[in-house]
Amino acid sequence: MKKILSVILAVLMIACLCCSFAACGSAETPSTEAPANDAASNDVPTEVTGKTYNVGVCQLMEHESLDQATRGFTDALKEAMAAAGATVNIDTQVAGDATLCPTVINTFTAKQVDLIMANATPALLAASNATTEIPILGTSVTDYESNYAAGIPANVSGTSDAVPFAEQAQMMIDTLGLVEGDVVGVLYCTNESNSLIQYEAVKALFEEKGIVVEAYTFSETTELQTVTTSMASNVKAVYIPSDNTVAANDTIVGSICTDMNIPVYTSYGGAICYASLSISYYDLGYETGKQAAQILLEGKSPADIEIATLAPTVVYNEELCAQLGIEVPET
């Protein structure tokens, strides 16, 4: 009997040893699983692959600069989505007027979109007033802080089209030979809060040099021709900030001022200005699209994304300068 038990125990011990060897062998066997998605190495979680995101774009109005910003945003975000193996539905709505931005934004909040891109200040304010939960990115916005007395909301970030005012003012002084006592007219729409901020900034800089600054404002586009005509009759030069309403109707301004031999300088470029220190709005929108990808694909919070600006470039309209008798500096 003892012999039988010894045999049984020996068999059991051999079986256990075999199992142990098998287990060790399996740990050393090379894995046949597919490698992790490359997106993971670029801070993009693998779970976004195959996912579809919904983004709402509220653009204040149709205008070349705003159109370019929206196009840049769309291109950048779609490129990032394709690289991550995801897709995005972008619903772009042009409000047409500041008072209609809340209506557009409300349709996005009702649909619970994954992100809102607000193109221009009125669109940004409408979006941030409507939701504190949905991430919001602004673009074509000059000053974020001045629009939020209590601080920029945690769900808001984006890009700014601000260009150094001191450089703009000095560029006008140098190229136009402005001296103490000369008058510069600043044209802007009173419905755009960013324009007032820019007016006050450039006014202070000109006045440091003894140059007189006068504001010429309007609230309705029907007033623009009359206001511009009055301005051109009383100033040596015109400065136009990044004002969407003026920009959308600047052919009126350009026609009147050119006929009266008054040079126009704009912060946004365009055909009516003799010169500008401006940025590419396509590139600005593209940067905003990259920020959107960080939020949607990488899970970043808008609060963790700094508001970005672009380095401006100097542009001269040589044909217009020749017509106005302005010498273009040699580069």
Q: Is residue 41 part of a domain?
A: no
pLDDT at 133: 98
Q: Quick one: 184 and 272 in the same domain?
A: yes
Q: Quick one: 109 and 195 in the same domain?
A: no
**Tokens 């040893």 map to which residue?**
17
pLDDT at 262: 97
User: What is the Cα–Cα distance from 283 to 290, expressed in whole angstroms?
Assistant: 11
Residue 281 in this model has a pLDDT that exceeds 90: yes
Q: Which residues pair with 187 in a beta bridge?
A: 216
Q: Quick one: 320 and 196 in the same domain?
A: yes
Q: What is the CATH number of the domain that holds 285?
A: 3.40.50.2300
Q: Which residue range(s) make up the domain with 127? A: 46-160+281-300
Q: Quick one: 182 and 121 in the same domain?
A: no
Instruction: Tell me the average pLDDT across 292-297.
Output: 98
% of the chain beyond a pLDDT of 70: 86
How many structural domains does the chain have?
A: 2
Question: Within a 10 A sphere around the Cβ of 163, how many other Cβ atoms?
Answer: 22
Q: Quick one: 94 and 183 in the same domain?
A: no
**Between 157 and 19, the higher pLDDT residue:** 157
Q: Quick one: 188 and 244 in the same domain?
A: yes
Residue 315 in this model has a pLDDT that exceeds 60: yes
Q: What is the DSSP letter of 152?
A: -
Structure tokens at 200: 């006050």
241-271 burial, b if ≥16 CB within 10 A, otherwise e?
A: bbbbbbbbbbebbbebbbeeebbbbbbbbbe
- Stretch among 38-42, 88-92, 201-205 having the lowest mean pLDDT: 38-42
Q: What is the tens place of the pLDDT at every residue in 120-150?
A: 999 999 999 999 999 999 999 999 998 898 9
**Are 95 and 58 contacting, i.e. CB atoms less than 8 angstroms apart?**
yes
Instruction: Tell me the average pLDDT across 233-238.
Output: 97
The chain-wide mean pLDDT, for the chain, equals: 87
Q: Quick one: 219 and 288 in the same domain?
A: no
Q: Quick one: 170 and 270 in the same domain?
A: yes
Q: What is the tens place of the pLDDT at every residue in 46-63?
A: 688 899 999 999 999 998
Q: Is residue 34 part of a domain?
A: no
User: What is the Cα–Cα distance from 46 to 125, expressed in whole angstroms?
Assistant: 34
Q: Please, which pLDDT band fits residue 111 given cuts at 50, 70 and 90? A: very high
**Are 189 and 215 contacting, i.e. CB atoms less than 8 angstroms apart?**
no
Q: Quick one: 126 and 191 in the same domain?
A: no
Instruction: Tell me the average pLDDT across 260-270.
Output: 91
Q: Quick one: 256 and 267 in the same domain?
A: yes
Q: What is the tens place of the pLDDT at every residue in 17-47?
A: 444 433 333 333 333 333 333 333 356 666 8
pLDDT at 45: 66
- With CA atoms as reference, report the closest residue to 324 among 108, 176, 157: 176
Q: Which helix (H) or strand (E) holds 87?
A: strand 87-94
Q: Quick one: 255 and 124 in the same domain?
A: no
Residue 271 in this model has a pLDDT that exceeds 50: yes
Q: Please, which pLDDT band fits residue 329 given cuts at 50, 70 and 90? A: confident
Q: Please, which pLDDT band fits residue 8 given cuts at 50, 70 and 90? A: very low
pLDDT at 268: 84
Q: Is residue 5 part of a domain?
A: no
Q: Quick one: 183 and 320 in the same domain?
A: yes
**Angle in degrees, CA 300, 306, 307, rounded to 5:** 120
What contacts 16, CB < 8 A, 6 or more positions away?
A: none
- With CA atoms as reference, report the closest residue to 53 among 104, 136, 113: 113
Q: Please, which pLDDT band fits residue 160 given cuts at 50, 70 and 90? A: very high
Q: Is residue 208 part of a domain?
A: yes
Q: Please, which pLDDT band fits residue 5 given cuts at 50, 70 and 90? A: very low
Q: Is residue 6 part of a domain?
A: no
Q: Is residue 25 part of a domain?
A: no
